[in-house]
């Protein structure tokens, strides 16, 4: 068996274990990467460990530590209480507030990852207070952020539209953005109906919670640091993780929170899960397992099913790989070639299918979006449960995205 096959088998095994076992799948994935890489693919251990996602680790550490500081000094609880107050404590309203807020912010330019980094800690805390399941809250935040991820002014939207223009498919930036947003709104509505959030948990006659008390020095310092961080992300394109670490360090140095208390709130188990599986994904890419997987799925395409098939392929790959860093740059330029090889189809339809198919699965805990939501949960049991739920949902979106693109994309192209 080839090294690529070993790596692919290891990844499938890790995913199965993540759905059925109580062992932290990140630890299992690191072990499987070592075994498949050294004994199956003949790589040295250093070459296998070279795939460790250092940038992702710093991103997760920085963002979770910054908001752990906000949680430790009471700032997050105060903001969550006010957000629930904006929804009047109604669990039926809060999910759509999270979706709309994330979609609007993402569309303005920062894109999905910074948006989820900003909205998820607050949104998940507010959801718990309002009686909304963490699963539904995570789905609404992630789908909302992805709904705006392909706007003409977002980083990913600029990349995607630049690729389409070079391929002779320019002039469709708004169509790409709105079709992606509509697809995520449809999926979010389905999640809302399936998970049925309960009615209001607070009334106007209730006394305001303690968190509504006037904010103190620590809270104002924390809000100022987070605001500066946001401005830095949007205006100066600061790196997400390092800048969050800097903000957290400044707050701890200013005694806005206790360092020990903040670090105890960092969800190390969730970070281990995500980084461990990402190491295994890197091995799959290094050994050529990703093209092997894509080639096997692409053989199913015909001119009549090309839109759905390419959404299936890109969705499957995006579950384990980077949508903006791998799938969009690698697959969008192939639209014309795919049409040629299959003997029919529309390159614009194929491009729209690639974009939506790859984005819908990004609630997976293997993606940064899902990982950031999991990282907001301090309870290891709750984090593990959410990991499994998001994994199941993300994998199901491979098929949902394929069906949606097969049925709707030809109609969207004609608009």
Classify residue 52 as exposed, middle or buried by CB count within 10 Å of its CB (0-12, 13-18, 19+). middle
pLDDT of amino acid 89 = 62
Domain boundaries, the chain: 1-50+276-288, 54-199+210-271
208-251: per-residue pLDDT in tens? 454 456 788 999 999 999 999 989 988 998 998 999 999 999 99
CB count, 10 Å around CB of 170? 12
Q: Which of 4-18, 35-49, 70-84 has the lowest mean pLDDT?
A: 70-84
**Half-sphere exposure (Cβ direction) of 163: Cα atoms closer than 13 Å:** 25
**Which three-class secondary structure state does DSSP give residue 90?**
strand
65-80: per-residue pLDDT in tens? 998 999 899 888 787 6
pLDDT of amino acid 264 = 93
Q: Which of 136-150, 265-279, 291-305, 361-375 has the highest mean pLDDT?
A: 136-150
126-157: per-residue pLDDT in tens? 888 888 999 999 999 999 999 999 998 887 88
Q: How far apart are CA 233 and CA 219, in angstroms?
A: 21
Mean pLDDT of 341-345: 83
Question: How far out from the chain centre does Cα 325 lie?
Answer: 13
Task: Give one word for 111, left, alpha or beta, with left for phi > 0 and alpha for psi -120 to 50.
Answer: left
User: CA–CA distance from 375 to each of 28, 294, 387 (Å)?
Assistant: 19, 30, 10
Q: What is the separation, in whole angstroms, between the first and last Cα of the chain?
A: 48
Reported as a pLDDT band with limits 50, 70 and 90, residue 204 is very low
pLDDT of amino acid 108 = 81
């Amino acid at each position: 068996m080839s090294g690529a096959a070993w790596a692919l088998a290891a990844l499938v095994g890790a995913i199965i274990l993540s759905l059925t076992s109580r062992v932290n799948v990140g630890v299992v994935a690191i072990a499987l990467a070592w075994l498949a890489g050294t004994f199956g693919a003949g790589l040295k251990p250093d070459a296998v460990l070279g795939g460790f996602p250092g940038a992702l680790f710093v991103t997760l550490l920085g963002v979770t530590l910054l908001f752990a500081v906000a949680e430790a000094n009471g700032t997050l609880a105060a903001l969550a209480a006010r957000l629930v107050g904006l929804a009047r404590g109604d669990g039926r309203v809060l999910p759509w507030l999270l979706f709309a807020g994330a979609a609007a912010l993402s569309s303005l330019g920062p894109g999905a990852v910074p948006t989820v980094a900003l909205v998820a800690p607050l949104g998940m805390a507010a959801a718990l207070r309002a009686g909304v399941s963490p699963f539904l809250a995570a789905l609404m935040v992630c789908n909302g952020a992805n709904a705006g991820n392909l706007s003409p002014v977002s980083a990913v939207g600029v990349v995607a539209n630049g690729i389409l223009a070079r391929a002779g498919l320019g002039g469709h930036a708004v169509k790409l953005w709105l079709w992606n947003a509509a697809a995520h709104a449809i999926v979010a509505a389905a999640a809302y109906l399936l998970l049925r959030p309960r009615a209001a948990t607070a009334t106007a006659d209730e006394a305001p919670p303690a968190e509504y008390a006037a904010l103190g020095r620590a809270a104002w310092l924390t809000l100022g640091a987070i605001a500066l961080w946001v401005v830095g992300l949007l205006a100066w394109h600061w790196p997400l993780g390092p800048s969050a670490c800097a903000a957290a360090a400044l707050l701890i140095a200013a005694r806005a929170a206790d360092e020990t208390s903040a670090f105890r709130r960092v969800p190390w188990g969730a970070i281990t899960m995500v980084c461990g599986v990402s190491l295994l994904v890197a091995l799959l890419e290094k050994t050529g397992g990703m093209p092997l997987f894509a080639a096997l799925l692409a053989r199913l395409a015909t001119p009549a099913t090309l839109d759905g098939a390419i959404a299936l392929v890109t969705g499957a790959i995006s579950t384990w790989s980077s949508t903006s860093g791998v799938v969009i740059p690698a697959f969008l330029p192939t639209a014309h070639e795919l049409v040629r090889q299959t003997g029919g189809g529309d390159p614009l339809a194929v491009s729209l299918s690639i974009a939506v198919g790859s984005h819908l699965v990004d609630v997976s805990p293997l993606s940064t979006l899902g990982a950031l939501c999991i990282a907001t949960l301090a309870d290891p049991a709750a984090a593990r449960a959410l990991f499994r739920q998001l994994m199941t949902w993300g994998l199901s979106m491979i098929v949902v995205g394929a069906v949606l693109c097969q049925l709707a994309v030809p109609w969207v192209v004609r608009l």
